[in-house]
Amino acid sequence: MDAIMNFDIEVFRFINTGMTAPFLDTVMTFVTDKMNFLGAVIVAAALIWILGKRQDRIGLVVLVLLVISSDLVANAMKHYFMRLRPCHTIEGVRLLVGCGKAFSMPSSHAVNIFSAMAFLTARYRKFWPVFMAIALIVAYSRVYVGAHYPTDVMAGAVLGTVMALIFYSAERGYLRGRLVESLEALRKRRGGN
């Protein structure tokens, strides 16, 4: 276990202090802040809801439920593992964002972005390179800015991907039928269309 921890710290230091550049500092700080994408996410969700087909609306609802669920599971796991962040345990961390008070394992950013991007990849396979590139950049940014160890991010990526596949499978089966019924009932209450 000590060998894994030492390797994790060395990889963290390599990314956090060895692979840096001023322009990357700006990019990674921007990428790691979820609020920078909130407007784009809201606009995309509204467009999908208004212009999308019924299956796209169902996918949007499942995606929202997936991200909420993945966040809850990640936070529960953080309290189980209780691993401190690198900024609390390592000297000389280049911290480009706040250290945070929450525990480190797994990275919630990685869980959330991988759950969303893996789900979208399963639904829209031709766009998988874009979705996976987004997930990898966000996950990498968490180590680069000093907020997480590499294994926190890897655990988050695995957890998010597994949850996405579970939700995708559920959507294709039982959950999809229930969502269709709910959306139809809502449409009827609103008077058609």
How far apart CA 103 and CA 107 sit, in angstroms, is 9
pLDDT on residue 50: 79
Domain edges within the chain: 23-189
Helices and strands counted in the chain (H then E):
9, 0
Which portions of the chain are predicted below pLDDT 50? none
pLDDT value of residue 117: 92
Q: What is the pLDDT at residue 174? A: 65
Q: What is the pLDDT of residue 51?
A: 77
pTM across the whole model: 0.81
CA atoms within 13 A on the CB side of 18: 7
Q: According to the model, what pLDDT value does residue 61 have?
A: 86
Q: What is the model's pLDDT at position 60?
A: 85
Greatest alpha-carbon pair distance for the chain in Å reads: 64
The two tokens of residue 156 are 């988050």
**82-106 pLDDT, tens per residue?**
999 998 888 888 988 888 788 889 9
